[in-house]
Amino acid sequence: MDSINSILSTDESAFRKEYALELRKKRQQIYDIHIGYNELDEERKQVNQQALKTPGRMGEIIKNEEIDKEFSRRYKEHEKHNLVLSH
């Protein structure tokens, strides 16, 4: 049973890493820096639509978590950039 859990954990980890890299390529406006780019928002809408069709699927849960992390990462990066500019 432990080997099955280990394989599942490895697969999930690989999926998360690959999806996170994919999300980093998507453009998104944050505080009107890049007006008109909403690719992360569109990705979230698609994931949520799929989750409505097939509720409880782990893939959509993981995707939503990774989208949240990417928004958070970008927000922190934006704040850090503004802090450097203000000094």
Backbone angles phi and psi of 15, in degrees to 5: -60, -45
Say what the pLDDT of residue 3 is: 74
Residue appearing with tokens 């820096």:
33
Express each pLDDT in 59-73 by its tens digit. Answer: 999 999 999 999 999
Say what the pLDDT of residue 55 is: 81
pTM exceeds 0.85 for this model:
no
* Residues whose CB is less than 8 angstroms from the CB of residue 28 and which lie 6 or more positions away in sequence, other chains included: 34, 37, 38, 39, 40, 41, 71, 74
**pLDDT for 31 beyond 80:** no
Q: With cut-offs at 50, 70 and 90, classify the pLDDT of residue 9.
A: confident
Cα–Cα distance for residue pair 85/38, rounded to 1 Å = 25
Contact status, residue 43 vs residue 51, Cβ threshold 8 Å: no
Say what the pLDDT of residue 45 is: 94
